[in-house]
Structures are given as structure tokens and as C-alpha cells.
């Protein structure tokens, strides 16, 4: 279990906080609006009312002991940047930032934060991928051009060996796991027979995953 601090309790900040709590972590929520803070006081581990642009006020929150601080301030770029600068001065190492625009991203990238997030842009990409490849339930970029995709096996693939799906990729796409009801299969070879409603995880370059996509429909 880790402890996180989320600064800015808008829709993004609340969604991230609730998911962290669901995953078993503790979360301190911070917002300058007392009404917002009071609204979520029963949902968070702790909720603080604080002007996040004030270094002295942030110092009182003992943020150095958070495993990470997420700056989820919305459209107010100036407040976001002042908050980041204050966090850096306080010695916070793991700072994640929600960027609201390209200009915001460009400036934040110069401040040495751990990660910059574009919620709307990233969700737009995910929606486009879902529309383009409806057989892909979810996907995750793991860096170096590699992606992990989740495939829900449909009736046309029922009873087909895994090799039929992967052969066109010529060894460049790996089957990571198959989830079948309560069973999980990790040792997979080309003879493994797929069944309808299996959940298949594949890993490989986007170009190769795209190449075998028609076989997954």
C-alpha cells in the first residue's frame, strides 16, 4: 500500500483518487475550495483545504512523505505551474502533472516532473483505437514501440489454435496470457486451442498487431 496526494479535486483528480483508494492505497486530497473539500471528506483518507500555489501552505502537508503527488489542477495553467515549482522547492521527487494544453506540456516538461498526462488526448486515442479495432477490448503502451492488447475471443476463433492467429506476425507478437473463466494459462504455444469468451493478452509492435488484427475479428 502506498500513499498519494492529489492536488485539484476536479473530475480528473476525483476519478484518479477514487481508483487509487479502490486499489488499496491511501490518498490525501487537496483543493482550495472548501465546498469541494467538504463534499469528499468521507471518501478520502484525508482532505485538506489549501492554496496549492503557496509554498508555505504546501509545506504544512508533509508532501515529502507521499509516494507521488499528482497535480490535477484543471485549466488554470498558472496555478499548476506555481504548484509544481513549490513542490520542487519542497523536495518532492515523484510529481505527476495533468497538462491542459500543448503550451502547458511544453513548460511543464522543462520542470523535471516524473510524468505529464493528457487525459482528453489519451482517451481520444483509446476511443479511436477501439473504433478502428473493435476486437481489442483494451491496450497499453509499454514503451519502445511495444503494446499489450486485450482480445476477447469471438465465435469465429472458437476451437482455433493460437498459431493460426500469430503465424502472420512471424514471431514478433507474443501471447502473454489467456484467461478462461476462473483459469489462467501462462505457458502458451502455437497448439493452444482458443475458446469463445477467452481473454487473450498479446504483446508486440503496433505494426504487427495491426497486421494480424483481421484474424481477430
Chunked in runs of 10, what are the mean pLDDT values of the chain (217 residues)?
94 92 93 92 93 94 94 89 95 93 90 88 65 63 81 89 82 89 90 92 85 77
Q: Residue 72: phi, psi to the nearest 5?
A: -105, 25
- Strands 26-31 and 3-7, bridge-based pairing: parallel
**Cell numbers at 115, concatenated:** 510524468
CA distances (Å), origin 188, targets 73, 160, 191, 210, 213: 45, 14, 8, 21, 19
CATH superfamily of 3-118: NAD(P)-binding Rossmann-like Domain (3.40.50.720)
> Burial code of 55-72, b = ≥16 C-beta within 10 A, e = fewer?
bebbeebebeebebbbbb
**Which residue from 71, 120, 61, 75 is spatially nearest to 96, judged by alpha carbons?**
71
* Secondary structure of residue 9 in the 3-state scheme: coil
pLDDT of residue 127: 62
Asked if residues 47 and 37 have their Cβ atoms less than 8 Å apart, the reply is: yes
Asked if residues 42 and 34 have their Cβ atoms less than 8 Å apart, the reply is: no
Asked if residues 20 and 12 have their Cβ atoms less than 8 Å apart, the reply is: no
The CATH code of the domain at 132-216 is 3.30.70.1450
Residue written as grid cell 492488447: 149
pLDDT of residue 141: 74
Task: Give start-end residues of each CATH 3.40.50.720 domain in the chain.
Answer: 3-118
Q: What is the dihedral of CA 6, 8, 12, 15, to 10 degrees?
A: 50
Task: Give start-end residues of each CATH 3.30.70.1450 domain in the chain.
Answer: 132-216
How far is Cα 30 from Cα 28, in angstroms, rounded to an integer? 7
Query: What pTM value is reported for the model?
Result: 0.67
User: How many other CB atoms are there within 10 angstroms of residue 21's CB atom?
Assistant: 16
**Cell numbers at 24, concatenated:** 488499496
Amino acid at each position: 500500500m502506498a500513499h498519494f496526494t492529489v492536488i485539484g479535486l476536479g473530475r480528473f483528480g476525483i476519478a484518479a483518487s477514487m481508483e487509487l483508494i479502490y486499489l488499496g492505497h491511501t490518498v490525501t486530497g487537496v483543493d482550495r475550495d472548501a465546498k469541494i473539500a467538504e463534499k469528499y471528506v468521507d471518501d478520502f483518507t484525508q482532505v485538506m483545504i489549501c492554496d496549492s500555489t503557496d509554498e508555505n501552505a504546501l509545506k504544512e502537508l508533509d508532501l515529502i512523505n507521499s509516494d507521488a503527488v499528482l497535480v490535477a489542477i484543471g485549466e488554470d495553467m498558472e496555478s499548476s505551474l506555481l504548484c509544481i515549482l513549490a513542490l520542487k522547492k519542497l523536495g518532492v521527487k515523484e510529481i505527476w502533472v495533468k497538462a491542459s494544453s500543448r503550451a502547458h506540456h511544453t513548460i511543464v516538461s522543462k520542470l523535471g516532473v516524473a510524468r505529464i498526462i493528457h487525459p482528453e488526448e489519451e482517451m481520444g486515442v483509446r476511443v479511436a483505437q477501439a473504433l478502428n479495432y473493435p476486437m481489442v477490448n483494451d491496450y497499453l503502451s509499454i514503451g519502445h514501440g511495444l503494446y499489450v492488447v486485450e482480445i476477447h475471443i469471438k465465435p469465429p476463433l472458437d476451437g482455433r489454435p493460437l498459431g493460426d492467429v500469430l503465424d502472420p506476425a512471424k514471431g514478433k507478437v507474443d501471447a502473454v496470457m489467456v484467461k478462461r473463466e476462473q483459469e489462467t494459462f501462462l505457458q502458451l504455444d502455437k497448439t493452444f486451442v482458443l475458446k469463445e469468451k477467452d481473454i487473450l493478452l498479446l504483446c508486440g509492435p503496433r505494426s504487427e498487431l495491426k497486421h494480424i488484427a483481421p484474424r481477430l475479428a
